[in-house]
Structure 1
Amino acid sequence: MMLKKNFLWALHLFIILLSGCSKKSVVSSSNSEYKEDLSSVRPRFDYVEPTVTERAAPVSTPKTSTAPKGNVDKPLYVNKRLETVLDTLAKHNKSIRYANGFRIQIYVGNVRQEADDAKSYVYQAFPDLNPYVSYTQPTYRVKVGDFMYRTDAEQYLELIRERYSSAVILADRVDIKRSLLVNPTAESN
């Protein structure tokens, strides 16, 4: 039985090796050339020569302006429409009050007096920054500033960390008008 299995395995192995070593015929692409007539399926276009119609010469009459009257009105019409569109866009942009920006969180804790102290410190040391105190039971959070760019917030963060070492920069919705008032190069007193 064992001899029969070994013989079958050897036979299978021999057939696989023999088929792997056999010469295969490969069609050479250099000898064969592709030829097919595709003219029946190609689209056909008939060229039509454009005709030029000559206009009659206008009767010479004295003109007071050099530009035709019909062409003058159209640019003004386009300009008026453009002005109204630009005005509506400007009104829309002015109505946007908040944008994505950054604030520095200087205090997180359960003691209201410490939150008020942090707020008063910001008023005294950084008058151009606005402190925001929020309360979510039982935690007070004091965030400072309206920064449009993280780099501006990082400049103030170094100064604030002298007093509040746990201060961090957080992404937040900021007031655009107040963010324009922040001077990132200002130093503390």
Structure 2
Amino acid sequence: MNRPVLKILLVTPLLALAACAGTAAQAPRASAPSTDTTRKPVATAAPLPAEDVTKYRPVFAAPKTVPVAAAPAVKTAVPPTNAVNAQVEQRLRDQAYTNQNVKYAQGYRLLVYLGLERDQVMAIRRSIIGRYPDETDYITFKSPVYRLYIGDYLTKLDAARAMARLRGLTPKLELEATQVLLNKNP
């Protein structure tokens, strides 16, 4: 290795160390150490007299007393004549009319069969509908796969209850989130 390269390699860390040492906080130095170690009495300052600040404090007048009535006033209850005004009733009617036009909502269906055999799909469908006739069923066919869905459930809890009922009737049960039909029959 060349001497100039070695010097540069050694000088650079030394300069960085010197710069760090120069910026470090230092303890204050005494100008000349004293050899006298006897304790000298310190002069205590006389306590200052307390300043009177009462002239600066705000002064408030005492609150006026209100005479209390001897007998409390009797309140009469007024029954409401019309709790909902006409505008609110109209808006509720408009919202009900709008809701009547809604046919679909986000919900759940049970996938009970996914396979290639049509006869097996129909057999599972017959066994489920035979036991639970109020359940709706949907068979979809995308060549060559048949899918059998059961139910239109708005909540996951309802779908889980139906899944527990159908557990022994089908080889496979899956819960799928999908768009379901709303039952509008009153």
Taking structure 2 as the reference length, the TM-score comes to 0.59
| Equivalent residues of 2:109, 2:153 under 8 A apart | yes
| Equivalent residues of 2:140, 2:147 under 8 A apart | yes
| Equivalent residues of 1:122, 1:131 under 8 A apart | no
Higher helix share: 1
Cα deviation for residue 158 of structure 1 reads: 1.9
Change in Cα spacing, 1:10 to 1:107, as seen in structure 2 (3 Å) is: same
Cα deviation for residue 125 of structure 1 reads: 1.4
Cα distance per residue 1:25-63 (max 9 Å; x no partner): xxxxxxxxxxxxxxxxxxxxxxxxxxxxxxxxxxxxxxx
User: Hey, what's the Cα distance between the residues in 1 that align with 2:135 and 2:158?
Assistant: 12
Higher normalized contact order (CA 8 Å, seq sep 6+, divided by chain length): 2
Question: What secondary structure sits across from 1:21 in the alignment?
Answer: coil
- The aligned amino acid for 2:24 is G
- The aligned amino acid for 1:9 is P
Question: What secondary structure sits across from 2:24 in the alignment?
Answer: helix
Q: Please name the residue that 2:90 is paired with.
A: 84
Identical residues among aligned pairs (%):
22
Taking structure 1 as the reference length, the TM-score comes to 0.58
Equivalent position to 1:115, from 121, 136, 145 = 121
Alignment length (residue pairs): 127
Structure 1 or 2, whichever has the larger Rg, is: 2
Matched, 1:20 2:39: no
Gaps of 5+ in 1: 24-74, 182-189
Cα deviation for residue 4 of structure 1 reads: 5.7
Matched, 1:9 2:3: no
Q: Please name the residue that 1:173 is paired with.
A: 179
Change in Cα spacing, 1:85 to 1:13, as seen in structure 2 (3 Å) is: same
| Equivalent residues of 1:104, 1:167 under 8 A apart | yes
| Equivalent residues of 1:108, 1:140 under 8 A apart | yes
Please give the residue correspondences for 1:31-70 in structure 2 after superposition, counting only pairs within 5 Å.
none
Gaps of 5+ in 2: 28-81
Cα distance per residue 1:159-186 (max 9 Å; x no partner): 32212231111112112217x89xxxxx
User: Hey, what's the Cα distance between the residues in 2 that align with 1:4 and 1:122?
Assistant: 89
| RMSD across aligned positions (CA) | 2.6
